[in-house]
Structure 1
Amino acid sequence: MCVSTPALADFISDSKANLDTRNFYMNRDFRQSGAAQSKAEEWAQGFMLRFESGYTDGPIGVGFDAIGLLGVKLDSSPDRVGTAILKSDREAPRRAQDEYGEAGFTAKLRASKSTLKLGTLQPVLPMLMRNDSRLLPQTFRGAWLNSNEIKDLSLDLGRLDRVNQRDSSDNEEMTVFNGGRRNIVLGSAKTSDEFLFGGGRYQWTPELSSSYYYGGLDGIYKQHLVNLVHQLPLGEGQSFKSDIRFARSIDDGGSNVDNDAFGALFTYRLGANGFSAGYQSMSGDTGFAYITGSDNALINLLQINDFGNQNERSWQLRYDFDFATLGVPGLTFFTRYVNGDNVDRGPGLSEGKTWERNTDIAYLVQSGPLKNVGIKWRNASTRSNIGSDLDENRFIVSYTLPIW
């Protein structure tokens, strides 16, 4: 409060606040016989109030960010819970709570081209990607330093100690995801209060970039990730993109994590059309390791599956189309299919197999009183001998209202 008024000029003038609203309906139909629940179906309204300040003037600028999250139940029942768009009671019979939410605050310091943030964080980095696929986003608590002092080089270093899941209002310790046939075995410590990360990305040319990142969940696993991306122009309206990824995951004294993950995705764009093909393989004593509830850097991370089970091999075909070329800007479409096999199901059992098909149609209103209203329909189906057979639909209406 002792900072002079001129020093606060940029702090105030560069500040901004938005209210994001998200109306979310989700229906997940369990297709396999003998399922304990025939379907999960819920409808909710989400509100996300975001404030980002500028920085005070001087060698070290000071600022702060704030976020307020609120989810409101519109429809649910004990026999249809489990979509992860609402917070549910842990005791049976499980019921979705009428509302849930959280408030987060982040202090930030800036010197030259480096920024340090302390508090509520939402990282989107190769070794840790916050999940924002439901009503409210996942958040973390910790410290994150980003530096861009060297031209074309971005460096990151940080430590996290808590996670708030997308359908929760509690800050909790972190653990490793072990669904499907990951076959990860944990020691006495099932959770950890320390995730360390660091690394960087370098833009060699406008067409070529590479990155290396490290992420480690203390006492559970350590991970090294390398990525190479190349964009090859092929003339007017044409390009060919190559995205190559490799991750090495090992234990950190309290698990059996041992995995090599390789992925390659190639995309040819011709005007409004995009044609993609990809391949992903897992090897080692376990499947791919990452923090429960978050997204990950696997190229075959889809709406339901990520095809990261032990020894799993999977390939992807995808098609994108932008209707702007037909006079409908804001309307986009994509469909993709991934088939996985060779999953280790244990001694004497046949290989595990899974396939998943996704279709997304999205429209963002470009003008008029409904400008910036977004409408999205997401459809997915998966069949597997190692997990649930599912048909799923998500319908999302979103809007961002600038406040300041």
Structure 2
Amino acid sequence: MSSKTTIATFSTCALFFPMFACADFVGDSTANIELRNFYFNRDFRNGPPTTQRDSAAEWAQGAMFRFASGYTTGTVGFGVDALGMLGVKLDGGDGSGGTGLLPADRSSKNGRGSQDEYSKLELTAKAKVSETVLKVGSLAFRNPVVQSNDTRLLPSTFQGGMATSSDIDGLSLQAGKLRQIKVNSSSDYQDFTGNRIGGVSDDFRFAGGTYAVTKGLSTSLFYGNLENIYRQVFGGIVYELPLGDKQSLKFDLRYSKSKEDGNFRNLDNRAANGQVSYSLGGNMFTVAYQRMSGDDPFPYIANSDPYLVNFVQIGDFANVDERSWQVRYDYNFASLGVPGLTFMTRYVSGDNVQINGGHSGQEWERNTDIAYIVQSGPLKNLGLKVRNATVRSNFGNDLDETRLIVSYTWALW
């Protein structure tokens, strides 16, 4: 850390805490800048009049400054985190917006243009006692009942408070209350809505934990409640079995049960899903199955990520009564002496979707990712990724999609 940076950080701490408490606050702090160049093109293959448009395409540059302080000394340590974000449009004429990279410009042609730029400032206060941490303010995290999204130019965040604890050996606990969400392409917080089920709420509460029974076996139990919309209970088991030199078998089994909350309409969903992965050297082969039961689709907060094995690049395969299976192949080229280069391809097929009282709905999605991160030299941490997806459905949109992402992370200290 440079002397100027050290003085600035130390001065910030001294404004709020006694001088003797600031050493760990400064010494354990970290900061980095991430640049993210993102091109997104989605082609609506069924075209008008089904979608009223042929395609959506945008190109944008994002920049993120992340700062995480250490904690002041004492029984209770205090700290602060900050995340500043900026998104700038590079290309995306009238009528081609709507990819989620940039905020919509409603005054543009057909209301489908995008704004030239937008920014966000996220602040989080934190306190720590032993191995228990309380955070209040802007939050970005993932667990089986609520997950923030980071698949666009800038990540989404939640507003609220949460506590995490790992004081008990092998047991990780989480609990919290969230008030609003700031979606990827917005500078403002907004109330929660239920994905595909509707309703509006400003109160999501969750609690749960994961216990490591052995080195390779863990179990999870979580509860989530979007007030006046739904209640959800999740249980999961992950077991990894070593089979020999550079071989292993991993089982990931998940089950969720969701019901309505308060005066919301009757809601009933049961989601059983799981996957098995076999790793051999740089190869990984995965098969997965997902089954929706009940009268409703899988409920989760709109613009967040559902914790489902068949939630992929575009689809979640979580419609009413849907059955879906997946085959996937990953390869890490480090096994061939090219560390940082990875490849993934998968195919997901779903059927039995309830449509107009029947079960004739069918859909499939194919994804391919190729990514490379420079491992050393002046361009270390430069990342290149190409993501391609194809979706076909007899009840929704047919899509072809390509994403090109160039990222660079520079550690300041």
Paired amino acid for 1:277: V
> What residue number does 1:213 align with?
222
Paired amino acid for 1:39: S
User: Of the candidates 288, 292, 310, which is equivalent to residue 282 of structure 1?
Assistant: 292
Quote how far apart the aligned CAs of 1:239 are.
0.2
2: CA distance, partners of 1:319 / 1:403 = 36
> What residue number does 2:10 align with?
none
> What residue number does 2:158 align with?
140
**Aligned-residue RMSD, C-alpha:** 1.1
Quote how far apart the aligned CAs of 1:276 are.
0.5
Quote how far apart the aligned CAs of 1:369 are.
1.1
3-state SS of the aligned residue for 2:327? strand
Alignment of 1:13-24 (within 5 A): 13-24=27-38
Deviations 1:32-51 (A, max 9, x none): 14231111010000011111
User: Of the candidates 53, 56, 63, which is equivalent to residue 47 of structure 1?
Assistant: 63
2: CA distance, partners of 1:377 / 1:225 = 33
> What residue number does 1:159 align with?
177
User: Of the candidates 116, 120, 128, which is equivalent to residue 102 of structure 1?
Assistant: 120
1: CA distance, partners of 2:335 / 2:130 = 42
* Cα distance, 1:4–1:360 mapped onto 2, change above 3 Å: same
Deviations 1:183-238 (A, max 9, x none): x3x5xxx3111000000000111100010011110000010011100000000010
2: CA distance, partners of 1:337 / 1:37 = 26
Deviations 1:216-270 (A, max 9, x none): 1000001001110000000001000000000001100213321000101000001
> What residue number does 1:318 align with?
328
Quote how far apart the aligned CAs of 1:90 are.
3.6
Alignment length, in residue pairs?
Answer: 394
Deviations 1:50-77 (A, max 9, x none): 1100000000000000111110000001
Indicate yes or no: 2:313 matched with 1:297: no
Paired amino acid for 1:345: I
User: Of the candidates 225, 229, 251, which is equivalent to residue 242 of structure 1?
Assistant: 251
> What residue number does 2:88 align with?
72
Indicate yes or no: 2:147 matched with 1:129: yes
Alignment of 1:252-291 (within 5 A): 252-253=261-262, 254-291=264-301
Indicate yes or no: 2:84 matched with 1:56: no
TM-score (norm 1): 0.96
1: CA distance, partners of 2:285 / 2:168 = 35
2: CA distance, partners of 1:3 / 1:160 = 28
Matched-pair contact (CA < 8 Å) for 1:221–1:255: no
Matched-pair contact (CA < 8 Å) for 1:256–1:286: no
User: Of the candidates 135, 141, 166, which is equivalent to residue 117 of structure 1?
Assistant: 135
1: CA distance, partners of 2:267 / 2:19 = 54
% identical equivalent positions: 52
Quote how far apart the aligned CAs of 1:2 are.
6.1
Paired amino acid for 2:44: F
